[in-house]
Structure 1
């Protein structure tokens, strides 16, 4: 997911996407622990997407206060 895509989302959509990504990250950790994980690069993608969503949410919140 690109930053421009995240900026286009509403606050509720960002919360939903963040919850979905965290759930996927949790499932990947279980797959890794049981030896069933195939795409290890997906960890980095999810981690960066979560950070991107949190950053844009913080920017929007700071912009609303100013």
Structure 2
């Protein structure tokens, strides 16, 4: 599980790359669940929450940039 402090320390490009990696992992976990190969069921929840954290930080930064402009 990623801590929010670690996510906030990343640049915008790093956040986009992290989001892409998490979405790929989420897809793979869903695929494993559908085929009955998934063993770590809790990982699905962790990945989903990490995606939410990254998207929240990206949204906060976008709103902050919009109010400055």
Structure 2 CA distance, aligned partners of 1:6 and 1:63? 17
- Shift of the alpha carbon at 1:64? 1.4
Aligned counterparts of 2:6 and 2:44: Cα–Cα separation in 1 = 20
Q: How far off its partner does 1:61 sit?
A: 1.0
Q: TM-score, normalised by structure 2?
A: 0.91
**Structure 1 residues 12-34: Cα deviation after superposition (integer angstroms, max 9, x where no partner):** 00000000000000001111111
- State the partner residue of 1:52: 53
Long gaps (5+) in structure 1: none
Q: Which runs of 4+ in 1 moved over 2 A?
A: none
Give the alignment's Cα RMSD to 1 decimal. 0.7
SS at match of 1:38: coil
Q: Size of the alignment, in residue pairs? A: 66
What is aligned with 2:14?
A: 13
TM-score normalised to the size of structure 1?
0.95
Q: Unaligned regions of 5+ residues in structure 2, if any?
A: none
SS at match of 1:37: coil
